[in-house]
Structure formats: structure tokens, C-alpha cells
A and B are shown apart, each in its own frame.
Chain A
Amino acid sequence: MTTVGQVNLFNPILNNIDRTETKRYAGMGRSIHFPESIISEACSIVMLEKHIKTVWTMYEYDCISGCINGDYKIASKELLKHLSCSKRVILMAATVGEGVEVASKKYFEQGEYALGLLIDAAATAAVEQAANALCTMLTAQFINQGITLTARFSPGYGDWSLEEQEKVAPLAHVTSIGVNLTNAKMLIPRKSITAVAGLKTVTGEDNEMGCSQCTQKDCIMRRVK
């Protein structure tokens, strides 16, 4: 059983970097005439230089006021809608560490531009894979309680302002995995993410104070007709 507010560390195993995603992040999803050896080299370098860490914490969530842990009020309408069936949320963070960035820069400076670019893309793929692995683990952990995880949602997506990183990062306990926030609200190491995912019932049915019981009939998040 998971305790609210507890900081949990998880370092997922990645035996490979997703090449298709790497190509997509490098902006060449449909391209075919490109040396596969450079993509392989970029993925290998990220495999060598990655230091993957993730952290997650469960909080109480009030879907009426949009408040996480009683003190952080969500302003994003899209996120409020996304979490409208949740009574608890998971705040998470993932990083692949500093090494990948150093490697990308090194190759770029050596004039191996394509490799530098692809290392950056492969590192993005890696941090996404890490976050996905965390979500898979959490899904398995909660399924037994009849609870499932919504898709993860990060500051900067949709109408959830990147400025919110300032509030989200401490709730996600980013420093416990060696991630810090700059004055410009950027995560360092750069290949790091924070996200929130809602916990909701498997059936999607609202529990106790769900929409069907809610008196705010004109609420934009209302799921019932």
C-alpha cells in the first residue's frame, strides 16, 4: 500500500533506446535515406552516458477545487479536465543525467553535427522511455486496487504553463534524483521531465464526489450530460 506524501525512487532498466522515437525526435520520422550507423552510434552513446533516475510521490487531489496536496491549485483547464475523475495524483520526475548532454556537445564541437543532434534526440527518447517505464510500474502497482493511471501531463504541454514548473518540481521532489530548477524555470540536467498523472477508478466511474454528484451544473469539466 502506498502512503500519501512518501517519496519513492525507481531507476528503470533500459536495455535499448527506441530508434524510431529517436528518429522522430530528430525530425525525420518519415526519412529513409539516412545512415543507420549514425543512429546506432547515437543510441549506443546514450546507453553509455545515461544515468536514469525517476521519483514519484502520491498526493491527495481535490477535483472540485483543482488543488493538489491542499496547496497547489492547478490553473490549466486542460489539466483540470484530465484529472477530473481523480481523487489522488502522482507527481513524478525523470532524468537521464548530465552525461548525454556533454556527449552531444562534444560531438557537435568536433564537427559531427548529425551525431550530436541524434544524441540529443536519443536522450529525449530515453527520458520518455524512463517516464513510461515508471508509469507502467505504477499502473501494475495500482491495478490491484481497482485503480488506474491517466496519461502523464507535463508543465509546458497544452495550456499548463511552463512557469508552473516552480510549483511542480518541489512537489515531484526533483532534487532527490539530482535535478534542479534554474531561475528561468528550466530543469537541469536538461534531459529531465516532471509530470502529473491522475489515479482514477478502472471503470472510469466517479467516486463519491464525482461529476454526477457535483452541484456545479455548468462546470466546463463536467463529464455527465
Chain B
Amino acid sequence: MIKIFEGAMGTSLQAMGIADQPCPEYASVKYPDEVMNIHKAYVDVGADILECNTFGANPLKLAQFGLADATEKINIAGVTAARRAAKKGVEIAGNIGPSGRLIAPLGDLNFDEACESYARQIKALAGAGVDYILFETIIDLQEMRAGVLAAKAMCNLPIICQLTYDAMGRTVTGTDPSTAAAVLEPLGASIIGMNCSLGPEQLLPLVKELALSTTLPISVQPNAGLPFIKAGKTYFPLTPEEMGYWAPKLVEAGATILGGCCGTTPAHIKAIKEAVNNMNPIARTILPTGVRLASRSKSIWLGKGHPTVLIGERINPSGRKAMAAEIKTGNLTSVKREALVQVEAGAGVLDINMGVPGMEQKKLMGHVVGELAMLVNVPFSIDSVEPEVLEAGLRAFAGRALINSVSDKPDVKEKVFALAKKYGAAILVLPLGEKGLPKTTSERIIIAGKLIAEGKEAGLKDNDFMLDPLVLTVASDGQAPSETLNTLQEYGKVFGYPTTMGLSNVSFGLPGREDINAAFYALALASGLNAPIINPCNAKIRMMTEATNVLLGFDNQGVNYSKNYVAAKTIPAIAVTDENVLGALAGAVMGGEKERAAHLTLQAFAEGYDPREITAEALVKGMNLIGDDFGAGRTFLPQVMLAAEAMKSAFDALKTKTNVEDLPCLGKVVLATVKGDVHDLGKNIVGALLSNSGFSVVDLGKDVEPEVILAAAEKEKPDIVGLCALMTTTLGAMEETIKLLQQKTTTTIMVGGAVLTQEYAREIKADLYASDGVQAVKLAKKVVE
């Protein structure tokens, strides 16, 4: 039988004019009969589950109306109103909406604070006798996690989790229905669904997606279409008949509980009830086997029948002194870089270990997990031997993480299993016994079996476990790798769970470790390894993973493999055919080929060319040519800057062979961004181009007082003073500077910057106006000619 929720409460209260005194939830206290009557109208048309008027009755939200202290009173009043309206057999759901603030790092609300706020509301609702805890209209998966954790802590009631999706099929914070299922089902949701924002037609594909992603019942509460406002009133366009038309389709897609959100009325609920009255929930497709991990916005499967997933191992300061030292100073740059680089290289999961000696690992783990989750979108494996460090990571991660790991260690394993259950995490089982490393496959199978049984005792399920076969060093035991491979095969036969292992240990103490690792990797994949913990940046490993995916049928006809293979090939630099070394050097400058420019400069010098000739006939010529191209729109600023880099590298090479004084100097330029303006990129570009075109440049920096510029002009006696202003608000300072310079010096003044025009430059009496850096060089050359 399909169960039916009631329809909209908020819009009904609005229609009665009692929604803002001061908030909709307070109507249960102030107007209990009116609220009861709204419920009753839904009972009369056949609603099976009523939703209390407690959507915003969490203390955080109520605080906005100065009502946090009335949390209990408002929730109890909400339940009472629904209870009074309910007839026999009608159930009551305690309705809980968003707190109104986003949890860090998306917002400023602390995760624990969110849990506490929800816990207080849930305690009141459960105490007042609701049958379900219903979270709805939640847009942030982390907020839903806080709510579910609070609900599990406060009561044993079934938990309904409804997120709100946009037209693209994601919550505003990026979660899709199948990722929501991957996280919420193991976390302890009883029913998963969606409500609000979209009408039934738009929700239909999302229900289909969800049905393929969870074994739990699915609830759907669409809006009566997208609202519009006419003459100050809000209208929802979908009629009850139309809602009745879509209801059976939602059931056919997998929904088992239907209702209505904004704009729905008793007439809509009646239409739904009548349309699905004789329907039963459909039999759903069985989910794939394996373990599913998820980040906030992405879920992946690991196990037999799924492509190999690389678990990036490099975020681990053990044995990496530089990384550990950097973390100690509070700098996470190399940790972040490792995350980005590994994901770029194809890691599907990132292992995070924060074993930095002398640091409070618990706090560090929570912080790093939060920071990295803002950077990359893959699921994490939380790696620690300390249960409290694991918990900090699991709490901070808005997804379903893997716990790395649990072994047969009394007093610790119980805590780790409890954490996996509490946070809905998957768990990596390491068959390490109390007596140390088990040598044989059969010993490992026994320990793994024991740990799995204990995990299940703690409430874990088959799709929560991953197994590690243990990798020992071949140099110390020649049979160790065979035993590992054998264990992998036996794991497949005995348990069928996904397997993982860190394999680089195998080659310890031998030369050519990369080759041994790669060979072992191939053998392990053939023996049933699903998700190696590995350095994904290793080219051999990457190539082998891609090749294996082709051979195992995960990359149809090798399409991805071929694409990446071609992309990996280096594209050779454009060949310069000039016979003359100076011509080739000019070409290298133009092409921005730094190393080649330096090499050719030295070659030209060795061939007997004078430094002045090299500068004039090759370097400056190359810059002039690219400057011409820029002026003609054939090339762009970054290419000009690359050419300047090549020019600099050629100059630097030349300076190793000759005195700087022997190099030609076209003239001297003093540069500054004017007072009040903190932009200096544009000025720096001009400086780089001038100095690499043979000018001597004195850069005074940004936000420079007119008096300072004057002092520099008097001291340096430059051919040109270049002034830069990027904002309309600092043009006044430019005019002031020009006035001062012209009163006291005769130097040529060149101006430029985004907001300047030729006309304005003339108005403020500048001698020259350069529209860009290339033109600045051309004009400067004319001045000194």
C-alpha cells in the first residue's frame, strides 16, 4: 500500500494570515484550533501521515524570532494539534526543516551546534509522541547528517530524510539523489526522499535515480508546480487533477510514500490518494554488490564488477619530513597540492593520514578533512590508529568515508566498529592478530572472518566491509607476495567483499622498485584486487590501471585508454628552420621557449657574435616581432609575457659571459602605481617588458605618494616616468603626481592603466599615453631615439 502524507502547512497558514505572528510554528501555540483544522482537512481526504507544524521549530531558527526558549512549548503544541486531528491509524511525523544557517566550512555554524539544536527539537518531538522524525527541505547533506546523528542519539523512531533538489537534479550544495542514498542509507535513514522546489514532473527522473540507488522506501512531496506572484498574491499552477495524473507515475518510478509540499491543498492530496489507491510499491532493481563511498557530490562503487579505483596514498606525513614540518606550522599547502595532484592523476579516493608527531591529531584531522572537501570531490579514507582521530575525520566529512582500518586489537576494534556504525562509514579490515603478522592465507582468513562477524554484531552489513590481504616485503620472505595473492583469491571465494592493499612495501630493499611494484600490481589485479592504496601519479601504475580497465571490459573498445595515450604524448616544440643562430634565437624568444633561448644565446656567443649584436639582432628583434603581432591582434598578452620570459632567460645567459655594463641600455624608466591604487600587475607587466627590451627600470611599487615619485625622478634622472592607475577613484592622484613632476622636472611622463584614455591622458597633461605594455615599449623607444 502506498502511504499518503498531508499537503502544505506553511502556505495554508499564510492564506489564513497567521503565518507571521511571529513565525508559522508559533501558530500552534497561538491558534491551535486553526492548525488542527488544517490537519483535519487532510485527514478527511485520506492522509495517512500528518506532518506537525514544527518545520522551523529548532532553537537556532526560533532564535531569529526570540523564541529559542519556547522550543519545547512550540514543538509540543505542534504535535498536539496534529494528534487532535488524527483519527485511528493516522500517524504523526515530527517535521524538521533547515536550521537557517550553513554548517562550516560552507557557513559559520559549527557541526556540533547543529547537532545540539536538532537534538533539542527531536527530544521534544519524541517526548510528545510522534511516530516518525521527518527531515525535509534540507539542502546541505552535512546538515542532514547532523540531523540524523541527533535523531539516532535521542530516539529510536524511524527517520525520514528528504532533500530538496534543483532543476539540475542536485541540491544547492551539490548532492545528487544517488550520492544522498549512498550516505544516508548506511547512516541510519529509514526512508529517503525529496520535497519542495520542483513539481512532480521534474521530480520523476530524480525518483527513478533514487530508486536505483537505495533499498529503502522512497518518499516524494512535490510542490504544486513553481509559484508565481500576481497582484501581490502567490499562486501555484498545478491543479489537483494534474497532481493526480503524475502520482501513479511517481509510484511506478519507485515512490512508496506520496504527499505534497508548497501550494498543495486537501484537493491535491485527495487527487493523489484516489490516483494511487489501488497501487502497491513496485519491486525494485537489486543494487550492485560492493562497497559504495561518497563525497558530498559524488559516489563510487568498489568491488567485483566495477572498474579499479585508485586510493591515493600521498597525504601521509609519516616519513615525509617536509610535509610534517609544514603541517606543524599550520600550512596545508603541500597537503592540498597532493590532494589536487592525486585527483588529477586519477585517484578515486584519497587516504588522509595526519600522523604528525607532536600535533593534536584529532583537531588536525577534522580541520584537514573539512579543508580538502572544499577542494576536491572524491570520497576520503580516514586513516588513523586512534579512534578519536577517526571520529574527528568522520564527523567533518560530508559523505560516506572509508575507515582505514580495524585490526584484531581488543579495546580498540570495538570502538572502531561503533564509529563505522554511528557515522555510516565503510571499514577496511586488516587481518592483524594479537600475535602479530599472520603468515599464511588460512590464518588471515580466520582473523578477517572473526573481525567481520564482530563488525556485524556491532550492526555493520555486508556492503560495509573491505579487506586487506597484507603485503610483506619480498626481500625478506620470497613467498610473501604469493601468499598475498593467494589471500586475495581466497577473500573473493570466502567473503566476496572488495579488496584493497598498499602494495609498495613489497619491493622494499630492492633496486628498481617501480618495476617490481608495477608487476606486483598487475598480478594483484588478476587475483582480485579492486582498490589499491597507491601513488596515482606514478606513470606506470596509471598506465597499467588504464590498460587493465580495457582488458577487464570496463573501458569499451579502449576509448578512454586511447584518448589518454594520445594526450600523454609530448608535443614537440615548433621546429625553427633558420640557418642563422640569431634568427633561431629571435624565433625562440617569440615562441617563449626559455631553455632554448638561453641555449641559443650561449651558442651565438660561442660562434663569436658580439653581445650587442645578439641583443639587437635576436633578442630585441624577437620582442619587436611579437609586439607587432600583438598590435595586429595575432597574438595575446600571455604570449608576449612568455616571450619576455624567454628574453629574460637569454639575457641571464648572456650575463654569465659578459659584463652587464657591456650590454646595451636604451634608457632609464621610473615606474609607479599612483597613490591610493593597490594594483600592480599592469605596472609589473610594463616593467617586465621594458627591462627585457633593453631599458633600465626602477620600480617604486604600488600606492606611491607623489612626493616619493618626485624624489625618485630627481635622484634617478630617468628618461621617462611611467605612472599607472587602474581605478577611476585614483585618477585624481595621477593628475596630482603629474602636476608635481612637471613643476619640478622636465622628464617625459607616460601614463597607462585600465581606466585611462588618450583624451583623459591629454586632459591631465601627460606627455604620452600607452594603451598596453607593448605600446609602452614602443613609445619609450621613440623617446630615447
Contact = CB atoms under 8 A, between A and B. Distances in A.
B230 A203 contact: yes
Interface stretch (B425-433, B481-489, B728-736): B728-736
Contacts of A183: 676
A137 B172 contact: yes
B273 to A, nearest CB: 24
A201 B227 CA distance: 9
Contact of A185 (B235, B375, B729): B729
11 contacts: A9-B108, A10-B107, A13-B106, A13-B297, A113-B684, A117-B641, A141-B172, A146-B234, A185-B729, A188-B678, A190-B679
Contacts of A188: 678
B32 interface: no
Contacts of B341: 44
Nearest to B371: A51
Interface stretch (A28-36, A64-72, A217-225): A28-36
Interface in A120-145: 120, 136-137, 140-141, 143-145
A9 B102 CA distance: 8
A184 B645 contact: no
A122 to B, nearest CB: 11
B472 to A, nearest CB: 37
Contacts of B230: 203, 205
B197 A145 contact: no
A202 B639 CA distance: 45
Contacts of A147: 229
A116 B688 CA distance: 11
B376 A15 contact: yes
B374 A11 contact: yes
Given A6-B64, A11-B106, 15 more contacts: A27-B638, A34-B636, A105-B680, A108-B684, A113-B642, A113-B684, A114-B592, A140-B166, A162-B729, A182-B676, A182-B678, A183-B676, A188-B678, A190-B679, A203-B230
Interface in B317-341: 333, 336-337, 340-341
A143 B679 contact: no
4 closest pairs, A vs B, by CB?
A: A184-B676, A28-B636, A146-B227, A113-B641
Contacts of A116: 641, 681, 684
Contacts of B375: 15, 47
A35 to B, nearest CB: 8
Contacts of A108: 681, 684, 688
A23 B728 CA distance: 25
Contact of B728 (A31, A34, A161): A161
Nearest to B726: A186
B637 A26 contact: yes
Contacts, number: 173
Contact of A144 (B108, B223, B373, B642): B223
A190 B754 CA distance: 15
Contacts of A47: 336, 340, 375
A130 to B, nearest CB: 12
Contacts of A161: 728
Contacts of A6: 64
Interface of A: 1, 3, 6, 8-15, 26-28, 30-31, 33-35, 38, 44, 47-49, 52, 104-105, 108, 111-114, 116-118, 120, 136-137, 140-141, 143-147, 156, 161-163, 165, 182-186, 188, 190, 201-203, 205, 207-208
A33 B639 contact: yes
Contacts of B227: 144-146, 202
Interface in B252-282: 262
User: Main secondary structure on chain A at its contact with chain B?
Assistant: loop
B173 interface: yes
A17 to B, nearest CB: 11
Given A11-B106, A28-B638, A120 B374 contact: no
A13 B228 contact: no
A188 B727 CA distance: 13
B197 A140 contact: yes
Contacts of B648: 111
A146 B227 CA distance: 4
A98 to B, nearest CB: 11
A61 to B, nearest CB: 16
B197 A202 contact: no
Interface string B620-640: 000000000000000111110
A156 B234 CA distance: 36
B645 A186 contact: no
B676 A112 contact: no
A38 B637 CA distance: 14
